[in-house]
Amino acid sequence: MGFLDSLNISPELKSMLGEISTAAAPVILSEVMGNGSQGGLTAVVNKLEQAGFGNQVKSWIGTGQNIPITSEELQQALGNEKVKELAARFNIPIDQVGPILAQLLPSAVDHASPGGTLPHTA
């Protein structure tokens, strides 16, 4: 079972993304979640909360159902420049970055916050 399988990526998204984008998805997710230069999981959670998406983020961290977020909402929260940078850096079309993150980020945050709390090292 691969990383994307553990996050329950939909077959529709896999089909839309193709091999190159699907291979880049875990790296893009890792970059956004703070494993790159973003400051950690806590930083991305704070950024989303400050952009007005606190209810979604709380549902991802909590133990209940994850409230979805749209690609447009993520682009708003992260900023157009960050989305353009990710697309250029991973050589994928800009219009695929949002759907990748909208599909994967809620599950990734949920997996990173077992028991409904963020780890202290996030």
Is 83 among the domain residues? yes
Is 119 among the domain residues? no
Is 67 among the domain residues? yes
Q: Give how many domains the chain has, as a whole number.
A: 1
The overall average pLDDT reported for the chain is 79
Is 121 among the domain residues? no
* Distance, CA of 57 to CA of 110 (rounded, Å): 9
Q: How far is CA 114 from the centre of its chain?
A: 17
Cα torsion angle, 79, 84, 87, 88, sign? negative
Please tell me the predicted confidence (pLDDT) of residue 21: 60
Is 52 among the domain residues? yes
For residue 96 the two structure tokens come to 């695929």
Q: What's the domain range around 98?
A: 3-113
For residue 106 the two structure tokens come to 């809620």
- The enclosing domain of 57 has a CATH number of 1.10.10.690
Is 15 among the domain residues? yes
pLDDT range class, residue 73, cuts 50, 70, 90 = very high
Among candidate residues 120, 116, 70, 117, the one with its CA nearest the CA of residue 97:
70
- pLDDT tens for 76-120 read 998 889 889 888 988 888 888 888 889 888 988 888 888 788 776
What is the percentage of the chain residues whose pLDDT exceeds 90? 20
pLDDT range class, residue 51, cuts 50, 70, 90 = very high
Is 51 among the domain residues? yes
The total of other beta-carbon atoms located within 10 Å of residue 111's CB is 11
Is 118 among the domain residues? no
Please tell me the predicted confidence (pLDDT) of residue 55: 94
* Distance, CA of 5 to CA of 7 (rounded, Å): 5
- pLDDT over threshold 60, residue 3: no
